[in-house]
Amino acid sequence: DADVTQTPRNRITKTGKRIMLECSQTKGHDRMYWYRQDPGLGLRLIYYSFDVKDINKGEISDGYSVSRQAQAKFSLSLESAIPNQTALYFCATSVGTKGKGSYNEQFFGPGTRLTVL
Amino acid sequence: QKEVEQNSGPLSVPEGAIASLNCTYSDRGSQSFFWYRQYSGKSPELIMFIYSNGDKEDGRFTAQLNKASQYVSLLIRDSQPSDSATYLCGTGFQKLVFGTGTRLLVSP
């Protein structure tokens, strides 16, 4: 079974609709992230959470909100979807700080392809 | 100016050649750098991270960091068609900033 799962994998919706993308992980990691990927723009951070009570805005949080329901679950919502939110969305997880010289690898889910018409 | 810059490519190399991927960054305070590989339609996966000046080798991959010149590179020796993918450079420790990626094509 995949360690980081995302649902749905594909979604087509209309402008103005509310959409929720869900992410679950079985890796036991404290830290979770939401990114969007657009051609020519790369991966951009939307929101991140270092634990259940900690939520932080990323580079492009406008138009999005998140909920960290549990250590293993992190949801991304688009309250009123618009066409320029059409993108590939990735959830990722990582462990907490290990110390100097270490790097906390981020593990990505399979992605959700969202199309807003 | 974007914080991390990469040539989008594609970079085309023949099988068995060395592929050289380059990346520059703007924040002199950046300390940790990484390379992720992303196959078409798949999610990114970590290949290398580096935080000290110089070279770091792992199998066919070598990451090079030059903090004075603010660039990071990835060398892939004996390139294989299976290396064809987009390579994402970036910086950060917990909050990551990615470049737009360089597409590598290795022809048989």
Residue A93 pairs in a beta bridge with A32, A107
A-contacting residues in B 23-42 (Cβ below 8 Å): 32, 34, 42
Instruction: Kindly state the tokens that stand for A48.
Output: 């991140």
Range B32-58 average pLDDT: 92
The pLDDT value recorded for residue B73 is: 96
Is some CB atom of chain B closer than 8 A to the CB atom of A31? yes
pLDDT in tens, B13-40: 999 999 999 999 998 888 889 999 999 9
Is some CB atom of chain B closer than 8 A to the CB atom of A99? no
Are the C-beta atoms of A14 and A116 separated by less than 8 Å? yes
**R_g (Cα) of chain B, nearest Å:** 13
pLDDT in tens, B74-88: 999 999 999 999 999
Which strands form B19-25's sheet, in the order they lie side by side? B4-6, B19-25, B71-76, B61-66, B54-58
